[in-house]
Amino acid sequence: MEMQLESILLPGVDAQRPVVIAGPCSAETEEQVMETAKDLANKGIKIFRAGIWKPRTKPGGFEGVGVEGLAWLKRVQKETGMYVSTEVATKDHVFEALKAGVDILWIGARTSANPFAVQEIADALKGVDIPVLIKNPVNPDLELWIGAIQRIYNAGIRRIGVIHRGFSSYDKKMYRNSPLWHIPIELRRRIPNMPIFCDPSHIGGKRELVAPLCQQAMDLSFDGLIVESHCNPDCAWSDASQQVTPDVLDYVLNLLVIRDSTQTTENLSELRRQIDCIDEQLLELLAKRMRISREIGIYKKEHNMPILQSPRYSEILEKRSNMGEQMDLNTEFVKEILKNIHEESVRQQMIIMNE
Ligand code: PEP
Ligand code: MN
């Protein structure tokens, strides 16, 4: 997808990876905001985050301090020199944030899932030049995410970035929001020049996961990180378990290994050539398999047999995944591939049946 994007980097923010945005989940009090901001600025953080309006899953939680907190962000700009960012979910939020001179806006995950809300924000941003970061929608729907990006782009905003914050699921195990890395990776393929930030705090939901998630994001060539950091995390009014102190954040960032993505050695090129060959062979084999499938389809049609013979399918799944296991292939992976191949075979045979 062609998008004429401009750099989201603000004067004084280095173009090096990762660009870091940090600050508390919510602005709670002027003291908490100032203390956290000063500690972060001392660690070299250039962009501050704080939620002023908080979308809560259930009523009764802390819903943010509202407009009052914008004055604290102004103080942060003035006293620390940091840029400030906050979440907007309605046109009123946009007007208030712009009036207060907020430097970067972000659209939260619940909002990007709602095209009406995103359009309202986009309309409020017409004619404004400000960087806007768009979080992935709560549900794993890449098209919805891209749709939100397009709405903001169509409003004339050119400094756009996205934030990968994971996807909610009924069954929560290790993560608060499953990372489903293939979704931001596919977004990168579709819009190659779009800067991608990772939000390890909302993916992980717990402090211990912040460091490994930051590293994974860097290994996947993400451009930036947005991390929740609070001067006293245990006492935070929202998302306490996932926030880290500015000290811990600094420690985590210093330990990150940033691998240079443009450098490819001769060895790597050779290995990639082998992969290219194997992919070609895989495709040829798949094409051959489909041709045979179609012949089977013709046979079934001539002999009035149904397409689906589930004992045969179960037998294939069983046999092949055992075979795969002996070759050190993950059973789930093998089953998933076979399922997809089988679905395509059935689809091809249906075409023959209906001819
Ligand atoms: C947040 O950044 O504090 C927040 C509410 O995040 P999300 O929209 O990703 O849930
Ligand atoms: Mn939060």
Measured in Å, residue 10 CA sits from the centre of ligand 2 at 24
186 within a domain of the structure (yes/no): yes
What's the burial of 323, exposed, middle or buried (CB within 10 Å: 0-12/13-18/19+)? exposed
Number of structural domains the chain divides into: 2
Indicate whether residue 51 lines ligand 1 (CB < 6 A).
Answer: yes
Q: Is the pTM of this model over 0.85?
A: no
Which range marks the domain in which residue 343 is found? 266-354
Return the ligand 1 atom nearest residue 25 CA: 3
- Residue 247 and residue 175 in one domain: yes
How much of the chain is in helix, strand and coil states, percent to nearest 5?
Answer: 50, 10, 35
In a domain? residue 1: no
On average, the pLDDT of the chain sits at 95
67: three-class secondary structure by DSSP: coil
Q: 166 CA distance to ligand 2 centroid (A)?
A: 13
221 and 325 part of one domain: no
Tens of pLDDT along 136-188? Answer: 999 999 999 999 999 999 999 999 999 999 999 887 678 999 999 999 999 99
Select from 112, 132, 165 the residue to mutate for testing ligand 1; criterion: most ligand atoms less than 8 Å from CB.
165
The answer on 98 and 245 residing in a single domain is yes
- Identify whether residues 296 and 213 lie together within a single domain: no
Per-residue model confidence (pLDDT) at position 312: 84
- Ligand positioned closest to the Cα atom of 51: 1
Give the phi and the psi of residue 20 in degrees, each rounded to 5: -115, 130
| Pair 48, 84: CB distance under 8 Å | yes
CA of 168 to the centre of ligand 2 (A): 14
Asked if 116 and 195 sit in the same domain, the reply is yes
- Measured in Å, residue 329 CA sits from the centre of ligand 1 at 37
* Residue 4 belongs to some domain of the structure: no
Exposed/middle/buried for 58, CB within 10 Å: 0-12, 13-18, 19+? exposed
Q: What does the pLDDT look like over 289-332, one tens digit per residue?
A: 999 999 999 999 999 999 888 888 888 888 999 999 999 999 99
Q: Whose CA is nearest to atom 2 of ligand 1?
A: 25
Q: State in Å: Cα 128 to ligand 2 middle.
A: 27
Q: Residue with structure tokens 């195990």?
A: 173
Q: Is the CB of residue 210 less than 8 Å from the CB of residue 244?
A: yes
Which residue carries 């779009």 as its tokens?
194
- Give pLDDT, residue 171: 75
Task: Look at residues 255, 277, 305 and tell me which one is the last residue of a structural domain.
Answer: 255
Q: How far is the CA of 50 from the centre of ligand 1 (A)?
A: 10
Over range 251-258, report the average pLDDT. Answer: 97
Structural domain ending residue among the three candidates 255, 275, 293: 255
CA distance 124 to 14: 29
Residue 280's pLDDT band, with cuts at 50, 70 and 90, is very high
Same domain, 188 and 309: no
CATH assignment of the domain containing 290: 1.20.59.10
Same domain, 232 and 341: no
Domain co-membership, 47 together with 185: yes
Q: Is 165's C-beta closer than 6 angstroms to any atom of ligand 1?
A: yes
CB 51 within 8 A of CB 226: no
Nearest to 177 by CA among 135, 125, 147: 135
Radius of gyration of the chain measured on its C-alpha atoms: 25
Residue 262 CB coordination number (10 Å): 5
Residue 109 lies in a domain: yes
Which of 211, 229, 255 delimits the end of a domain?
255
Positive or negative CA dihedral for 324, 330, 335, 341? negative
pLDDT of residue 57: 85
- What's 96's domain CATH number? 3.20.20.70
Q: Are 194 and 161 in contact (CB under 8 A)?
A: yes
H helix intervals, the chain: 30-42, 68-80, 91-99, 109-112, 115-124, 142-154, 182-190, 200-204, 210-219, 246-255, 266-302, 310-326, 331-354
Do 157 and 193 fall within a single domain?
Answer: yes
- Mutation probe of ligand 1 site: the residue of 135, 178, 229, 237 with most atoms within 8 A of C-beta: 135
Q: Are residues 288 and 235 located together in one domain of the fold?
A: no
